[in-house]
Amino acid sequence: MIHIQNYINGKFSDPIQNEWLDNSCPADGVVYGKLPNSCAKDVQNAYEAAHNAFPSWSVTSIAKRSAILLKIAALIQANLERFAAAESKDNGKPISLSRSIDIPRAASNFRFFGKAITQFYSESHEARNQKTINYTLRHPLGVVGCISPWNLPLYLLTWKIAPALAAGNCVVAKPSEVTPYTAFLLGEICNEAGLPKGVLNIVHGLGATTGQAIVEHPHIKAISFTGGTETGKLIAKTAAPLFKKLSLELGGKNPNIIFADCDYDKMLTTTIRSSFSNQGQICLCGSRIFVEASIYKQFKKDFVERVRQLVVGPPNEESTQIGALVSKTHFEKVMSYIEEVDNLQSRIIFGGKRVPVEGYENGYYLSPTIIEVDSNQCKLNQDEIFGPVVTLMPFDSDDAVLAMANDVNYGLSATVWTNNLKRSLLFSEQLEAGIVWINTWMQRDLRTPFGGVKSSGVGREGGFEVLRFFTETKNICINYE
Ligand code: NDP
């Protein structure tokens, strides 16, 4: 059994009330560890440690902060196999994915922000006629809260922590209670890298209690949250009267628009990834596939054929391409959408069933699922399912597909496959999304702004955008007449 502890003031500790939650393995449904069910007092202790560390960390030289973050990055990389195995076990994702994407990206997050902070700058505005010079100071906020989901556990947690620390803040973080393992391991790495005690504190527990205690803490100055839209609403409601800065990265129901003039083979290969990577549990997955009518039949045939070849299996096997869904609750939620299929306006054309995996009979394995729908208005096209489930629909014109793509509450990302330059520019402009990919998917450059519109969130992460989020600006005006 793994004994996960809170990481407060540079030390590992049990929760004050000695209450624990089970940590189970999605591959076989077996409980393999316990984690703290932390209460508000644990959060308060974490806050105090962060608060005490802030005066020193906030004035630590950029060179030193940068060096520590780069050291953390190097240590994550050096422990790649250990972290990758832990992430797969906790989340159910194929080991090949955690080894090639999740953990290297967690290291990159620290490496990127360790370097970005050395290039961060503020502005000055000179008005020679008035003999004034204005300049802007960007100071760290103080103690900030970072709350992250279970789908890309260490990747998304560090995407918040790294810029917050780089900018000179101290952090109280809460990973998802469903996937706490790699966040726990991160504490050891931080100590080894020489991160001063109290600068980063990781408190484990339930969203409704531990998470809520962070959000409603009167002196935690900002909340950076990634998770579901409903949770985002609740957080916004709690934080607004306290005038906290808020960054909300929420759900998505992203369109993948395929025109007949695209590079077909590249599109097909990428569409397999954008549909089913991480069992479809990525907020950026293209879960609504719209295909130009002239190639619809061909696409349907080829897509089903390729999806049929995907290997569903235990996360720890190298050959596995589709692992287990993260939990029983989530598996049941995804299945409930599949049960919506009525065979009239929607039809399963592939998958839709639990997959029995030998030796892992109680794991949460679901076949990649393709559903043909007749209307973009159906629940399957309007709700975020967040599993290995995509819908297919043909379209006849640019206007029709643009209208359908935008006719949804979400607006995180969109993908367009076309070799027509004019069309790609018009779609980039008119799609209601924070991120538009043309002839690619999830090709990330950490300098770019990342976030959504509509119910997909508020604010942008990434690059200097997030460093601005994690700093407070102050304008100084000097008259030198
Ligand atoms: P949740 O919203 O359920 O949880 C996210 C985090 O918030 C967890 O740590 C959770 O804790 C915590 N939490 C829950 N309730 C509260 C609360 N009242 N106050 C403070 N914290 C709380 O999301 P999931 O973990 O289920 O993640 C899936 C969702 O995340 C999907 O909707 C997905 O689209 C979205 N997502 C968005 C991304 C983006 O960049 N836009 C990227 C990745 C995912 P606990 O787990 O312990 O309940």
The residues facing 117 across adjacent strands are none
Taking a C-beta distance cutoff of 8 angstroms, is the pair 364, 326 a contact? yes
Distance 173 CA to ligand 1 centre (A): 13
Tens of pLDDT, residues 252-269: 999 999 999 999 999 999
DSSP string covering 384-412: ---SSEEEEEEES-HHHHHHHHHSSSEES
Between CA 412 and CA 354 the distance in angstroms is 29
Measure 358 CA to ligand 1 centroid, in angstroms.
Answer: 31
Our answer to whether residue 192 is catalytic in this structure is no
| Host H or E run for residue 34 | strand 31-36
The pLDDT of residue 344 is above 90: no
Check if the beta carbon of residue 58 is closer than 8 Å to that of residue 77.
Answer: no
Contact 394, 292 (CB under 8 A): yes
Q: How close is the Cα of 156 to the center of ligand 1, in Å? A: 11
Looking from the CA of residue 206, the nearest atom of ligand 1 is 47
- pLDDT band of residue 340 (cuts 50, 70, 90) is confident
* Identified catalytic residue from 87, 249, 292, 384: 249
- For residue 149, give the ligand 1 atom closest to its CA: 25
Name the residue with the closest Cα to ligand 1, atom 8.
176
**360 Cβ partners below 8 Å, 6+ apart?**
27, 28, 314, 324
- Alpha-carbon distance of 394 to 349, in angstroms, equals 14
Q: Is 477 designated active site?
A: no
The tokens of 268 are what?
Answer: 């097909």
The answer to whether the Cα torsion of 44, 46, 49, 53 is positive or negative is negative
For ligand 1, atom 25, which residue shows the shortest CA distance? 149
φ, ψ (nearest 5 deg) of residue 358: -60, 130
- Could you give the CA distance from residue 175 to residue 387 in angstroms, rounded to a whole number? 20
Which atom number of ligand 1 is nearest to the Cα of residue 234? 18
Predicted confidence (pLDDT) per residue in 19-36, tens digit: 999 999 999 999 999 999
Alpha-carbon gap, residue 58 to 168, rounded angstroms: 4
- Residue 23 CB burial class (10 angstroms; 0-12, 13-18, ≥19): buried
Average pLDDT over residues 63-73: 98
CA 134 to chain centre: 37
Extract the tokens encoding 459. 């604010």
Residue nearest to atom 48 of ligand 1 (CA): 207
Over the chain, what is the mean pLDDT? 98
Q: What is the pLDDT averaged over residues 280-297?
A: 98
Ligand 1 nearest atom to the CA of residue 152, by list position:
43
pTM, two decimals, is 0.97
- If you search the block for the tokens 């973080």, which residue do you land on? 173
Beta sheet of 20-24, edge-to-edge order: 2-3, 31-36, 20-24
Please give the pLDDT value at position 384. 98
What lines the ligand 1 site, CB under 6 Å? 147-151, 156, 174, 176-178, 206-208, 211-212, 215, 226-228, 231, 234-235, 249-252, 283, 384, 386, 412, 452, 456-457
Atom 21, ligand 1: residue with shortest CA distance: 211
pLDDT over 90 (residue 272): yes
User: Percent helix, strand and coil across the chain, each rounded to 5?
Assistant: 40, 25, 35
Predicted local distance difference test score (pLDDT) of residue 343: 86
Distance 299 CA to ligand 1 centre (A): 34
Q: Which of 37, 229, 231 to mutate to test the pocket of ligand 1 (most atoms within 8 A of CB)?
A: 231
Share of the chain above pLDDT 70, in %: 100
C-alpha of residue 230 to centroid of ligand 1, in Å = 9
